A = this chain, B = another copy of it.
Amino acid sequence: MRTRPLKVALLGCGVVGSEVARIMTTHADDLTARIGAPVELAGVAVRRPSKVRDGIDPALVTTDATALLKRGDIDVAIEVIGGIEPARTLITTAFEHGISVVSANKALLAQDGAALHAAAEAAGLDLYYEAAVAGAIPLVRPMRESLAGDKINRVMGIVNGTTNFILDKMDSTGAGYQEALDEATALGYAEADPTADVEGYDAAAKAAILAGIAFHTRVRLDDVYREGMTEVSAADFASAKRMGCTIKLLAILERAADGESVTARVHPAMIPLTHPLASVREAYNAVFVEAEAAGRLMFYGPGAGGAPTASAVLGDLVAVCRNKLAEAKGPGESAYTQLPVSPMGDVVTRYHISLDVADKPGVLAQVATTFAEHGVSIDTVRQQGKDGEASLVVVTHRAPDAALSGTVEALRKLDTVRGVASIMRVEGE
């Protein structure tokens, strides 16, 4: 056992960072035994130096993160500031100074993962980020290492706890979107500005990271099709229930049937109540991974929160410290397949479409003809009408998204179609 400690710079000490610091202190002996050397919190960079921070020695606190990294004795930096800058520059500075990095920053990794990985690789250092996707759930390491001898064909998951909390509330209480969002905000599950969550930006960042790892290729944030869940209504949940389904905001990453391309998307979708993801309640996350040899795996747990996220950060810290002691580095980016990312139009799935139509003879025939002309085959149709107004609910067989878009455009032009009330994809069958 080495007695000289490994020195850690903690960049950021908010929700996640404060938990990292707390556990590093309370569980110091366990960390020492597991790493094979003591780890020491050598400095804590924050924005507001005078804020009282429980359990943090004020002498360690600094606002100059760059100077902390440059002082020459730091082995590992933990970046839990978030956002693009100064996080990106600080991580690069760390690599320039021989410091390996653990980060929880999905936004940055989704946007600049390739460049940061290249910088780590060039410096022979580690860049670990288990906490960036699905919080406490071991997912990055299992996909990158445990499944390294397998071929992942599909990943489908609930990777945003805020939206799952809102959708679960809507499902279980019949509440509308705004009411459920208000409750999530009151309980601390949604931020004051919930845009990143409810518009799917957070999930899209995680989708980009996971897609790259799953398919050993590079998937940029712009490659991920993204649709938020602010339009999901109580009526959609009623329709879903009628089909034996619920609605979840899903991140779905697929290898095309010919294996020559991949797709990555985030959108709300109906899934059957019998699907394991349907029973993921509250703010929990869960990810299904389908691999050629392994079959269907699921990983479930808390997707966020200070302590759960700190658990993932500290698992990475132990790994990076072990690598430092062994003068080795862990697996870096694996993007050798260079598979292109196909546009959303190429995605093949099923659809649930609600139309407001005129309640007169021939409407169904006209609608059915429009689907047929666009090559979209209908599975079921349900018609409900009263007082000259009617609604038509169509569930399709599997069809390319582009064909469905074409169908909807044509439907809107029919004079018997008053409006397209909702379009939702149906997954998990």
Contacts and interface: CB of A to CB of B under 8 A. Distances in A.
A149 B318 contact: yes
Interface string A302-344: 1001011011111111110011001111010010110000000
Interface string A293-306: 11111111110010
A27 interface: yes
Contacts of A297: 136-138, 299-301
A300 B301 CA distance: 12
Interface in A252-304: 276, 279, 291-302
Contact of A293 (B310, B322, B326): B310
B151 A27 contact: yes
A33 to B, nearest CB: 4
Nearest to A141: B146
Contacts of A276: 279, 300
A147 interface: yes
Contacts of A295: 136, 301-302, 305, 307-308
Contacts of A360: none
A216 interface: yes
A298 B296 contact: no
A149 B317 contact: yes
A395 interface: no
Given A33-B334, A318-B145, A331-B322, A301 B307 contact: no
Contacts of A337: 33
Contacts of A142: 138, 141-142, 146
Given A279-B276, A297-B301, A299-B299, A314 B149 contact: yes
Nearest to A323: B328
A294 B311 contact: yes
B291 A296 contact: no
A112 B28 CA distance: 31
A293 B19 contact: yes
Contacts of A30: 151, 216
A114 interface: no
A34 interface: yes
